[in-house]
Amino acid sequence: MSALQVIVLAIVQGLTEFLPISSTAHLILVPWLLGWQDQGLTFDIALHAGTLLAVLTYFAREWWTLVTVTLGRLARGEWNLAGGSAGAIAEGPLKGYDSRLLVILAVSTIPAGLAGFFLEDYAESLFRSPVLIAMMLMAVAGLMWLADSRAQLERKLESIGFADGLIIGAAQALAVIPGTSRAGITITAGLFRNLNREAAARFSFLLATPVIGGAALKKAYDVWQGGWPAGFSAVDFALGIAVSAAVGYGAIAFLLRYLQVRTLKIFIAYRLALGVIILGVELLRSSP
């Protein structure tokens, strides 16, 4: 694979991982539209490792607070899953948040982890169909429109509990199907739980960390066991990870600012338009 292809795919991953438009779909569609050979799921997940670095860097203070508060309460014997105001974080960037947030995130990750484990073979083959991607782009766009049109989007992230986390986590499991968009489906689920748009996006990004991290570690182990995929080198992986990390960091900052004052309408329109274009191209290509 050429350096240009690596950079293009890395930019696509960095831009689309955190925008609700499906990074996996774009990583499949860009080679499909440009006539490049499909790079495969292993390289896709390597690019996801770059966006993992982006989300870890952007939310470094939040993750540090979550880990240190949780470990501190465990060490002092203060841990209480019942939570409540007595369990609020007292200082730092998450001041006022429920100190169970780390556990909520961990539990919410389980559905996506199970989906990835049991459906990995389908994700590498059957799910990479352009028609399926188009249908999921449009179907989730409809759900996003319904959720974004709700009038009760007033809850802040401080209010999130286990029920919210489990529902959003269950929705995240659908992201194993390209075109769904992990960010898109989790933000949508958050809106249906009446979180405001920025809170839904922030929880989506925090929830992405263990999921992307787990997938990247598994593929790193596979590469260590079996060597680099055909046509790739260590330089290709390093370049892709670096570019997707830089672009991903900018995408996170952009979306959080954007959703403070705007709706998801532009992303809904984009998903619908892209779905129609994909179906049209596929129809033309399959015509005799």
In this prediction, residue 169 carries a pLDDT of 95
pLDDT, one tens digit per residue, over 227-283 is: 666 777 889 889 999 999 999 999 999 999 999 999 999 999 999 999 999 999 888
Q: How far is Cα 92 from Cα 1, in angstroms, rounded to an integer?
A: 45
Is the pLDDT at 147 greater than 50? The verdict is: yes
Q: How far is Cα 44 from Cα 219, in angstroms, rounded to an integer?
A: 10
Question: Torsion over CA of 206, 112, 121 and 42, rounded to 10 degrees?
Answer: 10
Q: Which residues pair with 155 in a beta bridge?
A: 195
Query: Pick from 6, 24, 18: which is nearest to 207 by CA?
Result: 18
Q: How far is Cα 102 from Cα 110, in angstroms, rounded to an integer?
A: 13
Counting residues of the chain whose pLDDT is more than 90, the rounded percentage is 51
pLDDT, one tens digit per residue, over 212-235 is: 888 778 777 777 777 666 777 889
In this prediction, residue 82 carries a pLDDT of 55
Question: Is 217:209 a contact under the CB 8 Å cutoff?
Answer: no
Is the pLDDT at 13 greater than 50? The verdict is: yes
Which pTM value belongs to this model?
A: 0.88
In this prediction, residue 84 carries a pLDDT of 47
Q: How far is Cα 122 from Cα 145, in angstroms, rounded to an integer?
A: 28
Is the pLDDT at 86 greater than 60? The verdict is: no
Question: Is 42:219 a contact under the CB 8 Å cutoff?
Answer: yes
